[in-house]
Amino acid sequence: MKIYVRRFLMLFVAALIVFMTGVSAAQAASPHFKKNGEPVCTISYPAAATASTTCHTVLAGLGNDDLLATVTVGGFAVYQCENNGGQQAPGQNKVVEGPVTAPTFIDSDAIKNGNLTLDTKAAVLAAKDTVTATEAGCPNNNWTGVDPVLTVTRIDLVIEQPLGTVIFRCSAFNKDGLTSPVTLTC
């Protein structure tokens, strides 16, 4: 009986050591932004009806797991009202566009000594070519909303490591539109 108790205690101690090693390794990761490395996003408008948003940040204290950064963008478009005769007048309504998301997957091999310079894939927000008179705020149903001008109002960046565990949730919002570059608040 004494031998079984001794073996049980040895297995218990070994399991405890393995468990504690895993806990200390998990606690060793202390993700943070490097100095001047907070998330900054750039909005570009390659066309009036399209906005492309990318974010840049520099991270340190990461663990040895894969990382996922997801950018989500939303905004509104304002349309010109056009009648059957081709005459145009400004629309009155802001038509909500989005949200659209763009995930950026980073393999753990790209993280060096817990450090990573992260540039996300572009989240591309696009307005519809035309909308109804009601959506655009035109005088009556003889008009159509055309020639949209898009404005980005919201950017969200969620960073996960390991996948499924959120380590940062950052965002910026302005109901009238964001001006590039945009520093996110985390």
What's the CATH code of the domain at 127? Answer: 2.60.40
* Residue 66 scores a pLDDT above 80: yes
Which pLDDT belongs to residue 90? 83
Which pLDDT belongs to residue 9? 41
Average pLDDT over residues 47-71: 97
Domain check: are 35 and 70 in the same one?
A: yes
Three-class SS state of 176: coil
Which pLDDT belongs to residue 32? 97
Domain check: are 80 and 38 in the same one?
A: yes
**Nearest CA among 152, 154, 150 for reference residue 185:** 154
Give tens-digit pLDDT for 113-158.
999 999 999 999 999 999 999 999 999 999 999 999 999 999 999 9
- Region label for 164, one of left (φ > 0), alpha (ψ between -120 and 50) or beta (otherwise): left
Domain check: are 18 and 49 in the same one?
A: no
| CA terminus-to-terminus distance, the chain | 58
* Residue 28 scores a pLDDT above 70: no
Domain extent for 175? 31-183
Domain check: are 22 and 50 in the same one?
A: no
Domain check: are 18 and 47 in the same one?
A: no
In the numeric block, which tokens belong to residue 79? Answer: 């349309």
* Residue 21 scores a pLDDT above 50: no
Report the chain's mean pLDDT, rounded to a whole number: 88
Domain check: are 20 and 35 in the same one?
A: no
Give tens-digit pLDDT for 88-116.
988 889 999 999 999 999 999 999 999 99
Give tens-digit pLDDT for 154-183.
999 999 999 999 999 999 999 999 999 999
Which pLDDT belongs to residue 15? 43
> Are the C-beta atoms of 36 and 14 separated by less than 8 Å?
no
Which pLDDT belongs to residue 29? 78
Domain check: are 15 and 35 in the same one?
A: no
